[in-house]
Amino acid sequence: MLPWLAYAAAALFYLCAPWLDPTQSNFSVDSWSYQELAHSFGGDTPYEPVLLRSFWSLEHSAAFPPGYPWLLHLLQTVFGTAPSVAVWFCVCIALLTPLIAARLARTLGVATEAGLLAGVALLGFARYFEEVLSARAIPLAVAAVLGGLVLLLEARTAWRAVAGGALLGFACLVRFDQLPLMLLILGYAWWRGTRPREVALAALAALAAMSPWMVMSWHYFGTLWASDNSWVAMSSVPVNVTQFPAVSPGTMFSDPLGFAGKCLRNVVRLVYYGLRLGIPACPHVAVLLLLWAWHAWRERTGSALRRHASLLLISFAALAPQVLTGYPDPRYLCLQLLLVCMLCLGDLYSAPRRPLRIGYPLLGVLAVSLALLFDARWAAGTVRVSGEVAATHELDQVLLLSLKRCQDAEPQVRYVFPHFLTTHAALYAAKLGGRASLTPNGFEQLDAATRREFEIAVGPLRYVRPVAVDGTVHTCDELLTERRE
């Protein structure tokens, strides 16, 4: 009963969250890019971005696979094109995730309540909450992976295997970095006793679900699974996806020792930032782990964590894309956090002494309450920030509309925004359909020849001057540099 009350409290909090941020102040460049790509499906040039966010491909987007933008396009066709549609969709997916986690716990032989509370603990992870409120793709990818894993482990019939494989394939169509996890889960299901026939059917279904991007990728890029981060992953030195030109001075093949050193450095950074940024964002998980460690030391018995260590191992092994690219953001640890919480709580729920069986769920609920309290503080900050954004929203609109009037007179010209207006560039492209580009990383350090190469590749272009966003109506000459061909 208490876990369900905790879930109800978390659900109420999440259902109120979109009202706290009516201006989408938490939307990032990724958020607006998803919106832009969703709108492109209804136009004459599907999946051709008007915002250049990287320079690996200048004609077609390879920043995201089309699963989430296509789903957003369907939702916005029915419910309207407001960005809040995506936020409400992510809220629904987030509230469904603890229920899927509860079913997974039962499938693994762990207390159902442990799975439900682990899902609520994920809802209390501030980085996950930020993903939901900014309408990005991680909540959908996590839910799809969990659903596919449940169906595959319970695959006693062909249709369950096909449905599980299709969900895993769809997760790859939502985020590129789910591909290693999908392959590992197929192997894990076979190892857990799923018959080879069902595993083969699941693999075929996953391949079919991934095929839209594979076809697009082969047609536009000449490879089956293109990503604008692919050259970053293969680089033997630290590089950034927004660099120009999008090539590395060394690769894993030309400099294997350098590549191994880069990966080792990225592992250290992932662990460091995961602890430094992750623990303050989810103190309840730290409390839970300490509680579990005390219990494991006291009881000295077999544990759910040890019994399902292989599942945890493959979930952490699936962080290979983050290790290769060097993006140590704790938001990529959502699935791992949920699984750790579920197995730790499973141990606590199986405590042999009755006082512990009663007390541990209460402590679990207390941990979740700490999470919600932390998120409430974060949400209060969101209300304040949202109010500030609402106050400056009109100022942003003045700048962007002024730029759009200039571009209407020269629609073939692309406007290159300075770094401090990065989100404005994404907003300009998503809401007004203006041709825009982000400034390459380290642009100020490029020599004159490389800058000229950039202008020839992207041009014709004009650079947006670093004007103050204060509501002043500027002329085109005040806003923009001279046209460069």
On whether the CB atoms of residues 129 and 377 are closer than 8 A, the answer is no
> What confidence tens digit (pLDDT) does each residue in 375-420 have?
555 555 554 444 444 445 556 777 788 888 888 888 888 999 888 7
User: What is the secondary structure of 95-138 as a DSSP string?
Assistant: HHHHHHHHHHHHHTTS-HHHHHHHHHHHHT-HHHHHHHHTT-SH
* C-alpha gyration radius of the chain: 24
The mean pLDDT of 329-351, rounded to a whole number, is 83
Return the pLDDT at 184: 92
CA–CA gap between residue 463 and residue 480 (Å, rounded): 6
The pLDDT, as a whole number, for residue 459 is 78
Across 306-318, average pLDDT: 83
What is the C-alpha to C-alpha distance for residues 393 and 58, in angstroms, rounded to an integer?
A: 30
pLDDT digits (tens, 9 = 90+) for 165-217: 999 999 999 998 899 999 999 999 898 888 889 999 999 999 999 999 999 88
Q: What is the value of pTM for the model shown?
A: 0.90
In contact, 473 and 398? CB cutoff 8 Å: yes
Q: Give the span between the Cα atoms of 400 and 477, in whole angstroms.
A: 15
Alpha-carbon separation of residue 411 from 327, 407, 408, 462, 484 (angstroms)? 35, 5, 5, 12, 14
Q: Is residue 77 over pLDDT 60?
A: yes
Measured between alpha carbons, how far is residue 415 from residues 280, 362, 438, 450 in Å?
Answer: 39, 56, 9, 18
pLDDT tens per residue, range 19-35: 877 777 778 888 989 99
Contact 333, 273 (CB under 8 A): no
371 vs 295, higher pLDDT: 295
Mean pLDDT of all residues in 93-108: 94
pLDDT at 476 over 50: yes
What is the per-residue pLDDT for 302?
Answer: 55
Residue 192, Cβ neighbours under 10 Å: how many? 14
How confident is the model over 452-465, as pLDDT tens digits? 898 888 878 889 88
- Does residue 93 have a pLDDT over 70? yes
Sheet holding 414-417, edge to edge: 51-52, 436-438, 414-417, 461-463
User: How far is residue 322's CA from residue 443's CA, in Å, rounded to a whole number?
Assistant: 24
Residue, of 436 and 93, whose pLDDT is higher: 93
Here the tokens at position 268 are 């250290």
**What percentage of the chain exceeds 70 in pLDDT?**
86
Q: What is the pLDDT of residue 301?
A: 58
**Tens-digit pLDDT profile for residues 118-137:** 898 888 888 888 899 889 99
pLDDT for 364: 59
- Give residue 388's pLDDT: 45
Please indicate whether residue 400 or residue 335 has the higher confidence score (pLDDT).
335
Q: How far is CA 296 from CA 66, 279, 351, 413, in A?
A: 44, 21, 10, 64
Q: What is the DSSP letter of 251?
A: B
Q: What are 461's strand-pairing partners? A: 414, 484
- Residue 374: its pLDDT value, please? 55
Handedness of CA 52, 57, 58, 62 (dihedral sign): negative
Within 69-221, strands assigned E span: none
Q: What angle is formed at CA 373 by the lines to CA 369 and CA 376, rounded to 5 degrees?
A: 140
Question: SS3 for 264?
Answer: helix
Report the alpha-carbon distance of residue 270 to residue 175 in Å, rounded: 19
Q: Which two tokens stand for residue 448?
A: 């004159």
